Copies of this chain bind each other. A is one copy, B any other.
Amino acid sequence: MGMNILVAHGGGPTAVINRSLQGVVEAARASGQVDKIYAARFGAEGILAGDLLDLTDVSPAIITRLGDTPASAIGSCRRKLGDADYPTVLETLKNFNIGAFFYNGGNDSMDTCHKVNELAKREGLDLRVIGIPKTMDNDLVLTDHCPGFGSAARYAALSASELALDASALPIHVVVLELMGRNAGWVTAASALAARLTNCEVLTYLPELPVDEDKMLADIEAAYAKGNGLLVTVSEGVCGPDGKPLADTGIVDGFGHTVPGGTAQHIADAIIRKLGLKARAEKPGLLGRASIPYASPVDREEAYAVGWAAVKAALAGKSGYMVSIEATRESRYQSGMGFVPLAEVANAEKKFPLEWIEGGNRISDAFFDYALPLIGGDLPQYAILRK
């Protein structure tokens, strides 16, 4: 008999986290070394409660469908484990005789992963722990990028381009688009692709650079006056010079983070009130991490590959690592899987490089050299009719 494995999701889902789950399940089946395949229901909550799904005998057809199913098919949570929780986690792992544990998530989840690994070692448990990276925010360190980012970036890039065409076609208002990203502007930066694919004016604001609202409004007025239409794209977490978000929802999440939101509406209101222009705010919100039609083909493949690599590594005896993506962009984009110690990834955050923001609200070519291969697939070629 082989070992039992357990996989869990942590934090916000992405369009491709189920692709990683598919990779885990199919690698486990292909190995011939896995007995039971368990998945925790709703992440850490399921581990604590011993509430596991048994995926061992789920039909291959359903497992294949995971690849086209957004969000998390096993459920996730935003519960941050406290020191008192870890013994309960170990209890569940022992009760189900788990030999390998895979936690698929972002910074907070890698921290959990690391702590479980350390505790298991201290207790002499024969457990392999491997982190599987996931975050649309792309803010994990020591990996070229994170699965989930490419799809969120493609969503931002194409949605913004489509919106820019609308703003140019009917230039009766400034259109403000809010995209997810509390602290990291990676996804919102991708929306600046609209400036390359359309004739619309595009201004982009990321949370990494504090925004002076008067300067922003002056820039908006000047850009709109050019008469080509104007799209303003903003991260939900954009802050003023005081370091506070321009707008927030008044909600604090399970990890203790303030939930920003309403930033685009705040800016649209200021445009109406202070500039006397019409403006409207669009906020696709969670749609930006859940869309399958906009998913990046490269991201889909890599999300599968990190799941597969995690299982192979654990079966080979590795523990205490996160799968990382190593990529080169020389002549063409190529990627492969690597491994980085969980301790070095946990709770660190990769910020968007300030030198990739030009004049406060334009995104440089250097970003697109990095991101276009991840956005992946053919980019649209729009019909632009000129006089």
Contact = CB atoms under 8 A, between A and B. Distances in A.
Interface stretch (A62-70, A83-91, A124-132, A365-373): A62-70
A58 B383 CA distance: 10
Interface in A292-329: 292-294
A13 interface: yes
Interface string A232-261: 000000000000000001110110000101
Contact of A282 (B53, B159, B175, B287): B287
A169 B73 contact: yes
Contact of A286 (B18, B77, B175): B175
Given A385-B62, A387-B41, A169 B282 contact: no
Interface string A165-183: 1101110100100000000
A74 interface: yes
A387 B53 contact: yes
Max count, chain B CB within 10 A of own CB: residue among A78, A159, A284: A284
Interface residues of A, number: 68
B251 A272 contact: yes
A169 B283 contact: no
Interface string A44-75: 00000000010100100011011011111111
A383 B282 contact: no
A251 B253 CA distance: 34
B287 A163 contact: yes
A383 B13 contact: no
Nearest to A75: B169
Contacts of A28: none
Contacts of A278: 251
A166 B69 contact: no
B73 A384 contact: yes
Contact of A70 (B39, B71, B162, B282): B162
B381 A65 contact: yes
A376 interface: no
B293 A172 contact: no
A69 B168 CA distance: 13
18 contacts: A41-B387, A53-B385, A69-B383, A71-B162, A71-B165, A71-B168, A73-B385, A75-B168, A75-B170, A159-B291, A162-B290, A163-B287, A166-B289, A251-B278, A281-B283, A283-B285, A292-B380, A293-B294
Given A71-B165, A166-B289, A282-B283, 10 more contacts: A42-B170, A63-B383, A65-B381, A65-B382, A77-B172, A166-B286, A172-B254, A281-B283, A292-B380, A293-B294
